[in-house]
Structure 1
Amino acid sequence: MAGMESTSAEMDLDRPNLEEYLPSDSIHGSGSPKNLHLRDLLDISPTLTEAAGAIVDDSFTRCFKSNSPEPWNWNIYLFPLWCTGVVVRYGILFPLRLLTLLFGWIIFWAGFIPAHILLKGQEKLRRKIERKLVEMMCSFFVASWTGVVKYHGPRPSMRPHQVFVANHTSMIDFIILEQMTAFAVIMQKHPGWVGFIQKTILESVGCIWFNRTESKDREVVARKLREHVQGVDNNPLLIFPEGTCVNNQYTVMFKKGAFELGCAVCPIAIKYNKIFVDAFWNSKKQSFTMHLLRLMTSWAVVCDVWYLEPQYLQPGETAIEFAERVRDMIATRAGLKKVPWDGYLKYFRPSPKLTEKKQQIFAEDVLRRLEK
């Protein structure tokens, strides 16, 4: 018994003395204020409520969540049909689509290499041929998914002082838009064969690359953007202002860079039909090669593209307000839900300043309760 009492006493000594954190008047006063202060000190229900709400209603994570197809081969009648579909998609459609894509690459390189080497002195003709070849190759890519794309509105034209902005679901957004018009796109640098295509092919249509982690790249890109929109013969500039792929159900905040160029902003809304395949590319979980493989083994990629009316900065309107107005147009047309999140949080941890601010708010709340 003595040993147990000794252990209990040691445990009591190890416990924090909450009274040390209370004002002296609350300790030496009546019992009621002391109990009130202790209760208020330990009452973290507002913080818990906020935390629970963030878990239950996590609109940020939902923006980047892939929708798994619901299984429908759950009984003896449907299972044979499902097996037949797998055989058709993987045994017949995929080989044919792969051959189509390889055939497209053969034609492309047969035209691109001679034009790139032999027509160096004739820039205008070379750029025109390379532009048509890029559009053709993108058409082969779309054909390799059995892409069913419906375009609405006037086709973009080559004019100075304009920039096109679109919501972003996958890198195939660029391919779908590029098969109609040879855009010069602003894109993240990628490794592997995608990076090779960026350096050798897409630079011929004026594409601009950047790295999210390099602050110097942002300054260079901003300068190149301003120079590009001023050019008369440059391909139309395409920007995905969300800065990351979103699952085509939501739209995150638009970066304001595309809306500070002092030119017309032409919105493009892209909406995928998920009846056959979810076109969202979760780059943190899947390589682009595997993403293409999934598309090529699906039944079809179905989507609608709307070219909306050009928009201009209104008097007294800031670039951020302009970006939100354009985002609202795209979200309304494509049926997307707007959320007030920065898509770059997908790649970076929250700023220490944000964490410290939350801690400060909590500390001030505790002190305010103690001072009552």
Structure 2
Amino acid sequence: MALLDAMATLAFTMIIPPFIILLVTVVVLASLGKSLGLRQKYVQFLLKVFEDGNRILVKKFGRQRLAKEYGRHSEDTDDDGQESTEVISRDKLVLRPLLDKDNNERLGTHEFELGDCLDYIRTGMEAIVDDEVTKRFSAEELTSWNFLTRTNCQYEFISIRLTIFWVVGFILRYCLLLPLRILILTIGIVVMVACTYFVGCLPESKMKKRLNSCVSVFCFDFLSGALSLVCTYHNKENIPRRGICVANHTTPIDVLVLACDNTYDMVGQRHGGFLSIFQRALSRASAHIWFERSEAKDRFAVARRLREHVEDPDKLPILIFPEGTCINNTSVMQFKKGTFEVGGIIYPVAIKYDPRFGDAFWNSSKDSMVSYIYMMMTSWAIVCDVWYLPPMTKREDESSIDFANRVKANIARQGGLVDLVWDGGLKRSAPKKEWKQQYQQEFSRRLKVQNVNSEKKEEKTE
């Protein structure tokens, strides 16, 4: 027993001092806004390990079988990660009846036939086979294994070398990185609460604004260490300074990613539990806007407060995710038009995560915030790219819906994401009746036009 105690004490004294040194280094570097580049080197090393592991899998299974094991991902995307032409052509087929509604000449060239229904039948069958909406709310499929156990394929046991890699990676992630990340997260929350409380006690002034900016970037940069965040920011000359900043939404970590490089006021749903700690802390230092999604009247108050915020030149740029829900890092779905009715300058931002190191998508219908944070902290790292796009303004002859679609298209194009017309609200609710009625009315109109043209031809013949 004494021997075991001595060994435990020796292990404790050997592990804790380097652990404390590493933690102090993280704190000091975060406070100075500096980095030793260790995260970048760590990510580069992981890429080499993944490539080596993938070569073993290809040698064992062959490329075709390996692609089949991972599903239809490689068949549905091209080399650039974009949707295949088959899916795009089907989208055009879905919209074709609506695009033809002003082309009466084409509709009147033939009488109604039973085959006119085949377009709708084919579209419905393809939508069932390959649902492009529902699959946006599940984890993105990978083309190669990243040594995480979040897969149905037991690749870790097919080779001794892969098994060694997987065991070492498991020990690294759960025995070294996870405790360190939990400690950094705990200290980061305490530091954020203390700093924002101090800033909130100061009177309104330019000094408070500058101090809030410094404190915000410092706190979020410190918290990024809990996820081993490695982010590359592009086109920083377009970074938002005022107005509204809009971005695609994959995860609550989007806020952390953007706030490490700039200071924002935020607008969003009021949460309970873990997220409420951050929301209350941030609200002490700046003018953030939180609302209850279930309260319809509150939406009008949010729009009014948002307009007042944008019109105030002394306020920080406000960060909004117009999709209203998290999408799985493969596409951008419909933007809510309310953001684009406020007026002012819109600063689009595109965010794209690298799923090879960890899937950043949060499926809020399946995972709680605590379990999601646990998944992120046991991943290899969170690696992403952020593009600041040139500011955009609403044109005189442009509706708020058209403006929202134009901004969304730019974000999707820059981030290499698929631009979808569907509402992200389909994640939790059934399609609106208006959508069904729209296609029903269009099909009825087509039949009516064709019947009228047939009657005219019969009268001329008589």
| TM-score scaled by length of structure 2 | 0.64
Residue 137 of structure 2 is aligned to residue 64 of structure 1: yes
How big is the shift at 1:75?
1.0
How big is the shift at 1:89?
0.4
Equivalent residue number for residue 159 of structure 2: 76
How big is the shift at 1:314?
2.3
What is the alpha-carbon root mean square deviation over aligned residues?
3.0
Equivalent residue number for residue 28 of structure 1: none
Distance in structure 2 (CA, Å) of the matches to 1:46 and 1:110: 61
Residue 311 of structure 2 is aligned to residue 230 of structure 1: yes
How big is the shift at 1:364?
9.7
Distance in structure 2 (CA, Å) of the matches to 1:359 and 1:262: 35
Moved more, 162-171 or 210-219: 210-219
Moved more, 50-59 or 349-358: 349-358
How big is the shift at 1:187?
1.1
Query: Is 1:158–1:235's contact at 8 Å kept on the other side of the alignment?
Result: no
Give the aligned residue type for 1:138. Answer: F
How big is the shift at 1:367?
11
How big is the shift at 1:158?
7.1
2:127 partner SS: helix
Query: Is 1:252–1:339's contact at 8 Å kept on the other side of the alignment?
Result: yes
2:137 partner SS: coil
- Sequence identity percentage: 37
Equivalent residue number for residue 25 of structure 2: none
Give the aligned residue type for 2:132. Answer: S
Change over 3 Å in CA distance of 1:362–1:269 after alignment to 2: closer
Aligned residues between the structures:
329
Equivalent residue number for residue 21 of structure 1: none
How big is the shift at 1:49?
3.4
The CA deviation string for residues 294-344 of structure 1, in whole angstroms up to 9 with x for no partner, is 111111111011111111222322222221111111111100011110112
How big is the shift at 1:127?
4.5
How big is the shift at 1:125?
3.7
Equivalent residue number for residue 256 of structure 1: 337
User: Aligned ranges for residues 93-242 of structure 1 at < 5 Å?
Assistant: 93-117=177-201, 119=202, 121-154=203-236, 159-160=241-242, 162-202=243-283, 204-242=285-323
Distance in structure 2 (CA, Å) of the matches to 1:304 and 1:268: 10
Query: Larger helix proportion, structure 1 or 2?
Result: 2
Distance in structure 2 (CA, Å) of the matches to 1:122 and 1:367: 66
How big is the shift at 1:174?
0.7
Larger radius of gyration: 1
Equivalent residue number for residue 171 of structure 2: 87
Change over 3 Å in CA distance of 1:189–1:367 after alignment to 2: same
Query: Is 2:199–2:284's contact at 8 Å kept on the other side of the alignment?
Result: no
Query: Is 2:140–2:330's contact at 8 Å kept on the other side of the alignment?
Result: no
Distance in structure 1 (CA, Å) of the matches to 2:375 and 2:318: 29
Change over 3 Å in CA distance of 1:203–1:187 after alignment to 2: farther
Give the aligned residue type for 1:108. Answer: M
The CA deviation string for residues 8-28 of structure 1, in whole angstroms up to 9 with x for no partner, is xxxxxxxxxxxxxxxxxxxxx
1:104 partner SS: helix
1:349 partner SS: coil
Q: Tell me which of 232, 254, 270 is aligned to 2:351.
A: 270
Give the aligned residue type for 2:403. Answer: F
How big is the shift at 1:360?
7.4
Change over 3 Å in CA distance of 1:246–1:275 after alignment to 2: same
Give the aligned residue type for 1:64. Answer: F
| TM-score scaled by length of structure 1 | 0.78
1:63 partner SS: helix
How big is the shift at 1:276?
0.8
The CA deviation string for residues 342-369 of structure 1, in whole angstroms up to 9 with x for no partner, is 112222222344456667789999999x
Query: Is 1:159–1:232's contact at 8 Å kept on the other side of the alignment?
Result: no
Moved more, 220-229 or 289-298: 289-298
Change over 3 Å in CA distance of 1:115–1:254 after alignment to 2: closer
Distance in structure 2 (CA, Å) of the matches to 1:151 and 1:157: 10
Equivalent residue number for residue 45 of structure 2: none
Give the aligned residue type for 2:370. Answer: T
Change over 3 Å in CA distance of 1:269–1:363 after alignment to 2: closer
Equivalent residue number for residue 13 of structure 2: none
Distance in structure 2 (CA, Å) of the matches to 1:106 and 1:270: 28
How big is the shift at 1:133?
2.4
Moved more, 72-81 or 90-99: 72-81
Equivalent residue number for residue 11 of structure 1: none
Query: Is 1:156–1:181's contact at 8 Å kept on the other side of the alignment?
Result: no
Moved more, 178-187 or 49-58: 49-58
How big is the shift at 1:101?
2.0
1:59 partner SS: coil
User: Aligned ranges for residues 285-296 of structure 1 at < 5 Å?
Assistant: 285-296=366-377
1:66 partner SS: coil
Distance in structure 2 (CA, Å) of the matches to 1:317 and 1:262: 12
Query: Is 1:187–1:209's contact at 8 Å kept on the other side of the alignment?
Result: yes
Query: Is 1:157–1:236's contact at 8 Å kept on the other side of the alignment?
Result: no
The CA deviation string for residues 214-242 of structure 1, in whole angstroms up to 9 with x for no partner, is 22121111111110011122111111111
Moved more, 149-158 or 86-95: 149-158
